[in-house]
Amino acid sequence: MSNLAIMQQRFEDACVHSPKACSYLAARHITPAMRARWGIGYCKEHTETYKILYKRLTFPIYDWQGNLRSFSGRTLKSNYTGAKYIGLPDNDTFKKSEQLYGLHYAMPHIAKSRVAIVCEGFTDVIGLHDLCGAKNAVGSMGVALTTHQVLLLSRWAKLVIVVLDGDAAGLRATEKLLVKLKEMPVEIAYVTLPEGKDPFDLSIEQGPAFAQYLKDNIKGRKIF
């Protein structure tokens, strides 16, 4: 068993036995079944390698073939300072800008529909899969969609739909994104959300109706 796999097991075990972590997940409508499926854990160990994850929820990051590559951690504090999410540094086998969260689950559905939905956060992907039934969703892990990520998706997708916040910053990001990705071998479309809402919020509020909202509000060619 690899060191990453050993730590993943420790993180999962710690999460199950952490009242604080369990309470946070329950408040966020993440059930024990969802936690187990996505391998959400909790880091209670202040080791040298994983100290940046200390006292954070952990999200394992797998490549499209299902190999565990890294972790990201989310603070449990509501009045936090600094970054909400912190990931382990890039290394020889993992570069954040070249991976997509949830692709190992989404890949068969993307290959079947030829459509990929890209959102930003970890819980956004989880909500779309488990609460909405949009199992072709993946996450860019907090960074603007990169050319590497789009080229990876182009192995299976003909259309990449980017879900963006509906505020001014989100609209500016849309313009930059479309310029950056205009030469990609897939069609790039987008959906902007109501201001102040993210995909996970809307997944909780609307369930499968949110997946229909995404289909109905694509700016670009609809092929599904």
What tens digit of pLDDT does each residue of 56-112 get?
999 999 999 999 999 999 999 887 777 899 999 999 989 999 999 999 999 999 999
Q: Which tens digit of pLDDT belongs to each residue from 118-174?
A: 998 999 999 999 999 999 999 998 778 889 999 999 999 999 999 977 666 666 766
pLDDT band of 223, cuts 50, 70, 90 = very low
Q: How many contiguous H segments (helices) and E segments (strands) does the chain have? A: 9, 8
Q: Is the pLDDT of residue 222 over 50?
A: no
Q: Give me the mean pLDDT over the 35-54 stretch.
A: 95
- Count of beta carbons in the 10 Å neighbourhood of residue 148: 14
Q: What pLDDT, on a 0 to 100 scale, did the predictor assign at position 224?
A: 39
Q: Which tens digit of pLDDT belongs to each residue from 108-121?
A: 999 999 999 999 89
Domains of the chain, earliest start first: 3-93 (3.90.980.10), 103-216 (3.40.1360.10)
Specify burial of residue 220 (Cβ count, 10 A radius: 0-12, 13-18, 19+). middle
Q: Which tens digit of pLDDT belongs to each residue from 177-199?
A: 777 777 889 998 889 898 888 89
Q: What pLDDT, on a 0 to 100 scale, did the predictor assign at position 204?
A: 95
pTM flag (> 0.95): no
Quote the CA–CA distance of 203 and 99 in Å, as a whole number: 23
Q: What pLDDT, on a 0 to 100 scale, did the predictor assign at position 195?
A: 83
Quote the CA–CA distance of 205 and 196 in Å, as a whole number: 14
Q: What pLDDT, on a 0 to 100 scale, did the predictor assign at position 178?
A: 74
Q: What 3-state class would DSSP assign to 160? A: strand
